[in-house]
Structure formats: C-alpha cells, structure tokens
Amino acid sequence: MQKIIVVSVSPSHARNVTVWLRTDYLVLHLATVKQLEVEMAAGKPDLVLMDVSLPKKNGFEACREIRTNERFRRIPVILCLEPDRETDKFWAQRQGASGTLVKPLKMEDLLSIIKHNLPP
C-alpha cells in the first residue's frame, strides 16, 4: 500500500484527508516539519501532502529542502494553500511543489491530484 504523509496542524484537515484516503493508501498525520524530517529519514513516503502554514518551518521551506535532497527529490510534494493567496501558488511552483490545492480541500480535487502524481 502506498504511503502518504499529511503534514498539518489542523486536526480536522488531517481527519478529512485520512477518511478520504484510508481505503487506498496508508496515511500518516504529522504536525510539524521536524516530525516529517524524522519520518522521512526512517523511510521514504510515496507522497507528501503539506500545509504551507506550519510552525517554525513552513511548507515552502520544507518543499525546497526535499527537492534539494538527492534521496527525496522524486517524492511528489503537494502544498495546501490558504484561499485568496495567488502568490502562494507561484511560490509553491518555484519551490518545486508537484502541485497545489486550496483549502478547504475538496475530496475530488485531492483524489485527482494524488492519482496524477502517484503511479497505480
């Protein structure tokens, strides 16, 4: 089963994503980039779904670090953006994000972007 790591400080956001994906994917919820770094060192996920707004280190910084690490650079990173922040979409692309979603997430958009970024 493919592993998706969800990095979000919002329990409701993580719960929705987990409910939507748990039949087809192993979903792990983390609240910080530091937890993501520890988890990735232990084993590579198949995809990372990450909020931009995170404590201490934001999603843009984490995405850039993933892209510059030879071991992890091919892992798709989807960034979840706040609404009405068009510059964030541009910035996400500049950091190497594989795609973006605007919160609140819609199940059909989430499933579509995951299927686009993960091989069957």
Domain ranges of the chain: 2-117
Q: What is the CATH number of domain 2-117?
A: 3.40.50.2300
Task: Report pLDDT for 76.
Answer: 98
pTM of the entire predicted model: 0.96
Q: What is the pLDDT along the chain (120 residues), one digit of tens a residue?
A: 999 999 999 999 999 999 999 999 999 999 999 999 999 999 999 999 999 999 999 999 999 999 999 999 999 999 999 998 889 999 999 999 999 999 999 999 999 999 999 987
**Contact 51/59 with Cβ under 8 angstroms?**
yes
Q: How far apart are CA 118 and CA 116, in angstroms?
A: 6
Q: What is the DSSP letter of 97?
A: -
In the beta sheet, which residues pair with residue 48? Answer: 5, 77
Angle separating helix axes 59-68 and 33-42, nearest 10 degrees:
30
**Contact 49/78 with Cβ under 8 angstroms?**
yes
